[in-house]
Structures are given as C-alpha cells and as structure tokens.
C-alpha cells in the first residue's frame, strides 16, 4: 500500500496545490492521498489574520474532495507545538505499519531538507517525491537526490511537471480586491467568501451567478437593473461602487420564497415578524434576505443592513441604504408607475427629496387601495420631510394624478 502525503499551511489551498497532488498521484498511483494542514508550520509563520486551524481544515477538506482518493487529515492540528514532519510520519507509521509513505515536496524543500528537524527520521520513515516548481533546476534536483540517497539511504522520486506560479500569499493579497477567484476551486472560494476570510470580498461575477440561482428567472432583469442603478448612484454620491453593486445583487435573494418558507427562515435566523408581516409573510423578504446574505455570502453589516431596509427604508438611513432603497424602486427595468421619472431625476439631484417622494408615492398607492400602511414607511417619510425642512429644501411637487 502506498500513501501520498502532502503537508502545508494551505492558507488557503489553491489550484496549484491540487495540480501538484494530481500530477504526483498520476505517476505514483497511491492507494490513499492525505492533505495535512499544519497547525504551526516550523519553517514559516502563519500570516497575520490567518483563519483558525479548524477553518483551514475545512478548506483543505473541500480541496481534497476535488482529487480522487484524497482526504484531508487533522493529524497535525491535534498536536501542540510546531508541526514537525518527523512527528507526523511517526504517527502515520504507527497507523500504517506496512505502507510506503511518500512525502510530496517542492524543489526548495528538497534542497533544504537537511536543515529540518530530524531529517534522518523523515527519510527513514518516508520516501520523498519532489515536484519541480521551477524550470532549469533539473541538475540541482538530481544532484541533491543522489546526495540524499547516498547519505541517508533515501528513496527519492523526481516528478516532471509544469511549474506552479500561484502562491497562497499571492491569493490572499488579491482576495480583498474582489480578485483571485480563478486560483481556487468553487467550494474553497465559497468558504472564503461565506466566512470573509483574509478580508475577502466576493468577485461580483461569481456573486451574480450564485445570487441569480436564487431568483425566479423573471426577476433577474430587475436585479440587473437595480445593480446598474446602484452603481450610478454610488458614483454620483461618493459611495463605494462595488459595495453598492454587491448589496443590489443580493437584495432580492429570498424574494421567490413562499410565505411559509419565509417564516421558516425567520425561525432559522431568529427573526421576529411583526403583525403586518405575519398577515403577509412575503413582506419578510428584506429581513430574511439580509440574514441569508450574511449566512451564505458573508455579507458584512453595512451590506446586510442595506438589504434589510431596501423595501420600507428607515429613518436615518446610511448612504448605502438610501442608494439601494432608491435603486430598487427606480431601476430602468421597472414597470412604469406614477412619479417614476420624477424620482429618477431627483435621485441624482437630492437623495433626500427623492427618498421622500418615493415614500409619498407608496403612501398614496396604499391609501388609494384602502390597505394598511406599514408603520416604518410612514415614520421614514416623516423623517425625510423633517430633514428636507431642516436643510431649507422643499419636497418635490407631485400628486397621485401626476405621471
């Protein structure tokens, strides 16, 4: 039985790691392959802000699932102190006394192995498989392999393969800029975004793909329009454009759910529904959407809040909340309604006036039909009327008869 072992910080595990393992497995044909995240790598410090060990184990497990016959092992995470390879191999030898253990490493690791903790133990317990990461070093690798064979009786397999240019450090640096997705499996990237590891913010193309899958097909055009309008308003008023886009992409992520499904999400997320929402649970999609976006996509507080208030608004909205509230109401794919064009124009001249008119139009619509007005709508309109008065501005003239 042959067991291929690949250790590292996997911080995060990327496609270069996966390609290395697949290349080695194709040549060595192991019965089992183990991906082993280190608790405390002895040769380098974990980067500041690195995820906890259990989260790195989760990512390693997701990466391992992409490789036939591969699994992640927490053998080093359960030990205290530095994660010495010799200690790991001792434990594995106890578990698999008859197996050939093959330790996969890169060129630099092979060249420096004699400086490691107990190198003679490593080479006595396991064969070495070196994956050349750099072209032009074949002679150097061959000479070191011969040296280790002669000095330690080591078994060394030299594996041919294309150099791996991506690094975990490079990926970490890209993630806060909504980049780096192409270097990760979808499952690992999803884990990073869900927990916002490394300060990551989602690639908006990836986020659209995931969010649109939550929608009825007929609602996609509205969400696309809301994103486009949110971007325009963000640029006009000095908000962070990509945050406005993210909130708009996610704002209706639970809209298609039935009333019963909305109530189940309320129970799951501990959301208290008021009497208006209990009578008409479809109104809950702003609350459940905000909670779902935070849970499934790691939406931070300011984006979660913009989703939460996009339907009713609230007194004293943040700039982002106000932008998403208006973008939802006036996006270009909206079916025309009275005051729509007036609100659109106002949104680029005075956000508060546009917000007040949007709410006034809602009050008129509900009143005309003899429906109960949601209290937050009335309170929010009163707030923006007072805000306009305080800054010496007047509400935009409009009556329900105007178009």
User: Would you state the pLDDT for residue 43?
Assistant: 62
Helix (H) or strand (E) holding 2: strand 2-8
pLDDT exceeds cutoff 60 at 403: no
User: Would you state the pLDDT for residue 106?
Assistant: 86
- Distance between CA atoms of residues 293 and 287, nearest Å: 10
Do 26 and 20 form a contact (C-beta atoms < 8 A)?
A: no
User: Would you state the pLDDT for residue 348?
Assistant: 98
Residue 155 lies in a domain: yes
Give 64-67's long-range contacts (Cβ < 8 A, gap of 24+): 64/33, 64/35, 65/187, 66/18, 66/185, 66/187, 67/18, 67/21, 67/22, 67/25, 67/33
Residue where the block lists tokens 């106000």:
322
Entry pTM: 0.92
290, 311, 333: which is the final residue of a domain?
Answer: 333
pLDDT exceeds cutoff 90 at 139: no
- Distance between CA atoms of residues 44 and 139, nearest Å: 27
Looking at the structure, tell me whether residues 88 and 174 fall in a common domain.
Answer: yes
- Distance between CA atoms of residues 370 and 116, nearest Å: 79
Looking at the structure, tell me whether residues 51 and 168 fall in a common domain.
Answer: yes
> Average pLDDT, stretch 289-294?
98
- Distance between CA atoms of residues 369 and 160, nearest Å: 74
Which tens digits make up the pLDDT trace of 337-359?
889 999 999 999 999 999 999 99
pLDDT exceeds cutoff 70 at 259: yes
Residue 189 lies in a domain: no
Do 265 and 290 form a contact (C-beta atoms < 8 A)?
A: no
Residue 95 lies in a domain: yes
**DSSP at 51:** P
Which tens digits make up the pLDDT trace of 93-110?
999 999 999 999 988 889
Looking at the structure, tell me whether residues 311 and 358 fall in a common domain.
Answer: no
pLDDT exceeds cutoff 70 at 402: no
User: Would you state the pLDDT for residue 154?
Assistant: 94
pLDDT exceeds cutoff 80 at 162: no
User: Would you state the pLDDT for residue 49?
Assistant: 80
* Orientation angle between helical segments 351-368 and 319-330, nearest 10 degrees: 50
pLDDT exceeds cutoff 60 at 393: yes
Looking at the structure, tell me whether residues 171 and 46 fall in a common domain.
Answer: yes
pLDDT exceeds cutoff 60 at 133: no
pLDDT exceeds cutoff 80 at 134: no
User: Would you state the pLDDT for residue 40?
Assistant: 75
Q: Give SS3 for 9.
A: coil
User: Would you state the pLDDT for residue 241?
Assistant: 98
Looking at the structure, tell me whether residues 277 and 385 fall in a common domain.
Answer: no
Which residues are bridge partners to 4 per DSSP?
A: 33, 102
pLDDT band at 269 (very low <50, low <70, confident <90, very high): very high
User: Would you state the pLDDT for residue 283?
Assistant: 79
Residue 232 lies in a domain: yes
Q: What is the four-CA torsion angle of 22, 27, 31, 35, rounded to 10 degrees?
A: -40
Q: How many helices (H) and strands (E) does the chain have?
A: 19, 6
Higher-confidence residue of 137 and 31: namely 31
pLDDT band at 221 (very low <50, low <70, confident <90, very high): very high
- Distance between CA atoms of residues 250 and 215, nearest Å: 10
Which tens digits make up the pLDDT trace of 182-201?
999 999 999 999 999 999 99
**Residues 6+ positions from 35 with CB-CB distance below 8 Å:** 6, 10, 13, 17, 21, 60, 63, 64, 70, 71, 72, 73
Residue 196 lies in a domain: no
Which residues are bridge partners to 113 per DSSP?
A: none
* Number of Cβ within a 10 Å radius of residue 295: 14
Looking at the structure, tell me whether residues 58 and 146 fall in a common domain.
Answer: yes
User: Would you state the pLDDT for residue 401?
Assistant: 60
Task: Give me the helices (H) in 66-160, please.
Answer: 85-95, 107-112, 119-125, 138-152
User: Would you state the pLDDT for residue 160?
Assistant: 80
Q: Give SS3 for 400.
A: coil
pLDDT band at 286 (very low <50, low <70, confident <90, very high): very high
pLDDT band at 165 (very low <50, low <70, confident <90, very high): confident
Q: Which domain holds residue 319?
A: 204-333
User: Would you state the pLDDT for residue 12?
Assistant: 96
* Orientation angle between helical segments 204-212 and 186-195, nearest 10 degrees: 90
Residue 99 lies in a domain: yes
E strands along 168-287, which residues? none
pLDDT band at 374 (very low <50, low <70, confident <90, very high): confident
CA dihedral sign, ordered 104, 105, 110, 116: negative
- Tokens, residue 271: 């959301």
* Number of Cβ within a 10 Å radius of residue 186: 13
User: Would you state the pLDDT for residue 368?
Assistant: 78
CATH number of the structural domain spanning residue 96: 3.40.50.620
283, 318, 333: which is the final residue of a domain?
Answer: 333
pLDDT exceeds cutoff 70 at 400: no
Residue 195 lies in a domain: no
> Average pLDDT, stretch 116-120?
94
> Average pLDDT, stretch 374-396?
91
User: Would you state the pLDDT for residue 135?
Assistant: 65
pLDDT band at 141 (very low <50, low <70, confident <90, very high): confident
User: Would you state the pLDDT for residue 44?
Assistant: 62
pLDDT exceeds cutoff 70 at 56: yes
Looking at the structure, tell me whether residues 237 and 300 fall in a common domain.
Answer: yes
């Amino acid at each position: 039985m042959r067991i291929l072992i690949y250790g590292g910080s996997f911080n995060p595990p990327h496609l270069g790691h996966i390609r290395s393992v697949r290349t080695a497995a194709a040549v060595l044909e192991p019965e089992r392959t183990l991906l082993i995240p280190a608790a405390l790598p002895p040769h380098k410090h974990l980067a500041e802000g690195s995820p906890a060990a259990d989260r790195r184990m989760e990512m390693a497990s997701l990466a391992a699932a992409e490789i036939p016959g591969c699994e992640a092992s927490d053998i080093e995470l359960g030990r205290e102190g530095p994660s010495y390879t010799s200690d790991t191999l001792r434990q594995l030898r106890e578990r698999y006394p008859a197996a050939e253990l093959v330790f996969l490493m890169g060129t630099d690791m092979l060249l420096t192995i004699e400086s490691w903790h107990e190198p003679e133990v490593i080479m006595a317990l396991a064969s070495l498989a070196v994956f050349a990461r750099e072209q032009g070093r074949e002679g150097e690798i061959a000479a070191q392999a011969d040296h280790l064979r002669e000095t330690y009786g080591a078994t060394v397999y030299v594996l041919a393969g294309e150099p791996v240019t991506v690094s975990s450090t490079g990926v970490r640096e890209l993630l806060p800029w909504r980049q780096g997705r192409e270097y990760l499996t979808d499952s690992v990237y999803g884990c990073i975004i869900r927990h916002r590891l490394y300060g990551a913010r989602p690639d908006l193309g990836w986020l659209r793909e995931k969010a649109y899958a939550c929608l009825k097909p007929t609602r996609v055009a509205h969400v696309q329009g809301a994103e486009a309008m949110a971007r325009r308003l963000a640029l006009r008023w000095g908000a962070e454009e990509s945050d406005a886009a993210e909130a708009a992409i996610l704002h209706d992520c639970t809209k298609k759910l039935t009333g019963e499904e909305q109530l189940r999400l309320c129970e799951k997320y501990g959301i208290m529904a008021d009497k208006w929402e209990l009578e008409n649970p479809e109104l809950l999609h702003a609350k459940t959407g905000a909670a779902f976006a935070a849970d499934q996509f790691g939406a931070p507080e300011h984006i979660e809040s913009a989703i939460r208030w996009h339907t009713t608004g609230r007194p004293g909205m943040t700039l982002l909340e106000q932008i998403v509230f208006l973008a939802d109401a006036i996006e270009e794919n909206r079916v025309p309604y009275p005051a729509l064009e007036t609100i659109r124009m106002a949104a680029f001249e005075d956000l508060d006036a546009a917000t007040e008119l949007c709410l006034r139009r809602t009050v008129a619509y509900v009143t005309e039909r003899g429906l109960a007005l949601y209290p937050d709508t009335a309170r929010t309109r009163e707030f923006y009327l007072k805000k306009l008065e305080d800054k010496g501005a007047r509400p935009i003239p409009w009556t329900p008869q105007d178009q």
